[in-house]
Amino acid sequence: MKENYVLECCVDSVESAIHAANGGADRLELCSNLVIGGTTPDVALVKEIRKYADIRIHALIRPRFGDFCYSEHEVSLMKEQIRALKQAGVEGVVIGVLDEDGHLNVSVMQELMAEAQGLSVTLHRAFDMCCDPFEALETAIKLGINTILTSGQKQSAWEGRELLARLQEQATGRIAIMAGAGIGAKTIGQLMPVTGITTYHMSGKVTLDSRMRYRQEGVSMGLPGISEYEIWQTSEELVREAVQAIKKE
């Protein structure tokens, strides 16, 4: 068993948070709108989860869908979101800002880090969109960031395993490398021996059918191709299987 393993579960609902906690996840990355990659969750969601699950919560700070190059107004919003979620009692925040050339925007990141003082900080997958991951790793360490969430700049962590191994080697315990994208029990069993990574990020989602009996077909309220009558939710069993996979290694 790995003594220092971490399994983080990405969730955007109370039900998913409860399932993740019951499945044995160590902490949540709490978001809204996972269908578009996640945005900042509402404080009310944090409070509702706290009623039913005793688990660490790291809140995503992402004001919108799209790139990670933010306007002055968006940065101001992100700072306010950190303050509000910190006040609500989250244990960490998940942030990432790039400049126009694909480097971490150090000045803005410093502003966000100042707001997040006292919290654990994860650099999210903006890292996977940066132009030089090795430079970004060193910058993240200088900023005082605790964890980098990355797929190794590929669509899935398994595809990015070579870069993940190199990042883990470069980190040398100075910062945690957390593998994410396509993570499950099988992938963890494959990745751990070739990367040495013991920190993993998963959603463990399954697609549930809506309880609606009446269905208005042909009208979309969101992204084209996404059914209004499908619900994404974390599976307690998939989380439990992933925990067991880590413990076996």
pLDDT tens figures, 212-234 = 899 888 777 777 777 888 889 99
pLDDT above 90: residue 62: yes
Q: What is the pLDDT of residue 49?
A: 97
pLDDT of residue 19: 98
pTM of the model: 0.93
Per-residue model confidence (pLDDT) at position 249 = 61
Q: If you write DSSP's letter for every residue of the chain in order, what string do you get?
A: --TT-EEEEEESSHHHHHHHHHHT-SEEEE-B-GGGT-BPPPHHHHHHHHTT---EEEEE---SSS-S---HHHHHHHHHHHHHHHHTT-SEEEE--B-TTSSB-HHHHHHHHHHTTTSEEEE-GGGGGSS-HHHHHHHHHHHT--EEEE-SSSSSTTTTHHHHHHHHHHHTTSSEEEEESS-SHHHHHHHHHHH---EEEE--EEEEEPS-SS--TT--SSSTT--TTEEEEE-HHHHHHHHHHHHH-
